[in-house]
Amino acid sequence: MNLTSRCKKKDDRQALLRLVIVSVNEEEIMNRREFAKLMGVSAAALSGIPLGLTRAAGATKGGTLNTIIQPEPPILVTALNQQQPTLTLGGKIYESLLRYSPDLKPMPGLAQSWEVSPDGLTYTFKLFPNITFHDGKPLTSEDVVFSMTKMLVETHARARAIYSRIAKSETPDRLTVVFTLKAPFAPFLTALDCTTGPIVPKHIYDGSDYRKNPANAQAIGSGPFKLKEWVKGSHVHLVRHDGYYRKDEPYLDEVIYRIIPDAASRSLALEQGKIQLTQWNDIEFYDVARLSKLPNYEVTTKGYEYFAPHQWLELNNRVKPMDDKRFRQAIAHALDLKSMAARVYFGMPKIATGPVSSKTKFYEPDVKRYGYSVEKAKALLDDMGLKPGPDGKRVTLKYLIPPYGEVYQRAGEFIRQSLGRAGIDIQLETTDVGGWADQFSNWDYEMTGNLVYQYGRLFEEAASTIDEAKRQEFYSKVQKILVEDVPVIWMFEAAYPTFIDKRLKNVTSTGVGIHESFSSVYFG
């Protein structure tokens, strides 16, 4: 997950980078009015919406899961938007052919079985019978082919890079899909999750302007939950899809995602037991240690294995002086990542060494390292001719703060202070989710932060061979090239605390964790 996805042509350095990583996880009990006020929404907006756990004691079927989504997603259709809030919530609405275990082994999704030809070119998937969309229409092999070879290759940058490798699609019957690739592509079977390959209804989207289709507001998928209502600024209310194809699933009656922009209010909602689940950075890192002591919750960082999120400082290489490798290397030396990890993220992340996470396959540890050294940074800047002025400033650049929580504001402040010691003056800018995505996609920024998922990495030579040793050789080579050229500053292998009510089961049972469909989640 990228926070967003670019569709425009890129510089050679950043194009290579995108090829490597495409796809490679207070004391007073408040009444309803007080809680609504805390959340920044009206009591009327919460009227009729269950607060807290509602189920029969000891039952495994039924109940309401209250959780958080922040920031509020711009849309719920994951085929059209790949920002983290959309993917988290949309995973309950849309499914794909496969799911993945915590160790990233493929498991049945919409497909109950699959076969790969010995030459690695042909993939045959058998769908489960009786799958229906939320509008009651059947999901068939035609919907799969339409989604993967037409809609997604136009609207989903990550999917385009993968599914455009399909040379031929066949639908021998309503439950069979056969894809023949143009050339062997080893990561193909690892790129069929709900965030990369959401299956949409052909009967709704075929022949339409995908982005302007009125059905986008309804978010019609085939997942275990369907949209009941979306009250902007308050909540997104999902209810059970009674036509779901898996026997007895979903177990929950409904899932309510509450939009709570304020970090203190999110923490208090957890303390008061008004929510049973948090994800990503719903809970700010400085509050994790304190809230981990709450007796009703367990805390885990599992469920992000498929994504292995990587946090980096995005540099627009089209803007001077960031088109000069020496300047980018100077920034790498000027950032005190050890202190940043401790002070901003309270020790949760691991410092990254390059574009590939050490948590994933094909990681190469033997790459150039940029130790923290203001003096080395200054020397590189001097070598470029960027001398400090009377005020000590060598250059002024703008940093666009990602609108994904208060931690990104603090990270921006830390980056500003760190680079300032080397004479690089940083001016912080803020925007909303839509504005950030628009500026980022159109290269209308100088610096910003980004969080990207690893998925299965895409480097042409490595991807086109099924020999594991050869793939490692290619991936190692490209990691060394990129770290030397440093088109972005790789900062952290991110880790996120997921707080789970101890009565809630099966939340992080797959490699996509909280992005999963939640069809098997239940209160026990």
According to DSSP, the residues that pair with 65 across neighbouring strands are 255
For residue 503, the model assigns a pLDDT of: 94
**441-471 tens-digit pLDDT:** 899 999 999 887 765 454 555 666 667 787 7
Q: Alpha-carbon distance 477 to 460, whole Å?
A: 12
CATH of domain 98-202: 3.90.76.10
Residue carrying structure tokens 């990890």: 341
Q: Distance between alpha carbon 486 and the CA centroid of its chain, in Å?
A: 23
CB burial class (10 A; 0-12, 13-18, 19+) of residue 442? exposed
Structure tokens at 155: 């609207």
| Domain 12-24+310-493 homologous superfamily, CATH | Dipeptide-binding Protein; Domain 3 (3.10.105.10)
Structure tokens at 26: 């207070």
Contact between 511 and 456 under an 8 Å Cβ cutoff? The reply is no
> Cis before residue 250, ω within 30 degrees of 0?
yes
Q: Alpha-carbon distance 511 to 104, whole Å?
A: 6
Q: Alpha-carbon distance 486 to 207, whole Å?
A: 42
Contact between 60 and 522 under an 8 Å Cβ cutoff? The reply is yes
CA atoms within 13 A on the CB side of 407: 26
Predicted model pTM: 0.75
Three-state SS at 419: helix
> Helices (DSSP H) in 81-151: which residue ranges?
84-90, 141-146
Structure tokens at 299: 């805390």
Please choose, from the candidates 512, 520, 523, 522, the residue with its C-alpha nearest in 3D space to the C-alpha of residue 198: 512
Residue carrying structure tokens 């050789």: 473
Contact between 405 and 263 under an 8 Å Cβ cutoff? The reply is yes
Q: Is 198 left (phi over 0), alpha (psi -120 to 50) or beta?
A: beta
Domain boundaries, the chain: 12-24+310-493, 32-93+223-303+497-523, 98-202
Q: Alpha-carbon distance 67 to 83, whole Å?
A: 18
In words, the CATH class of domain 32-93+223-303+497-523 is: alpha beta
For residue 447, the model assigns a pLDDT of: 96
As a whole number of Å, the CA-based R_g of the chain is 23
Structure tokens at 341: 């990890």
Q: Which H helix or E strand runs over 67?
A: strand 64-68
For residue 464, the model assigns a pLDDT of: 62
**32-67 tens-digit pLDDT:** 333 333 334 333 333 344 444 444 344 478 999 999
Backbone angles phi, psi at 195, to 5 degrees: -90, -30
Residue carrying structure tokens 């109940």: 63
**351-377 tens-digit pLDDT:** 999 888 887 778 889 999 999 999 999
Going from the C-alpha of 293 to that of each of 30, 77, 178, 277, 286, the distances in angstroms are 21, 37, 51, 15, 13
Query: Virtual CA dihedral for 123, 6, 485, 467, nearest 10 degrees?
Result: 0
Going from the C-alpha of 300 to that of each of 136, 200, 273, 295, the distances in angstroms are 37, 32, 18, 14
* Cβ atoms within 10 Å of 252's Cβ, excluding its own: 25
Which portions of the chain are predicted below pLDDT 50?
1-59, 456, 458
Q: Alpha-carbon distance 354 to 490, whole Å?
A: 6
Q: Which H helix or E strand runs over 488?
A: none
Structure tokens at 67: 């959780």
Three-state SS at 105: coil
Q: Alpha-carbon distance 203 to 178, whole Å?
A: 20
Going from the C-alpha of 132 to that of each of 93, 110, 248, the distances in angstroms are 12, 11, 15
Q: Alpha-carbon distance 520 to 522, whole Å?
A: 6
Structure tokens at 221: 């998928």
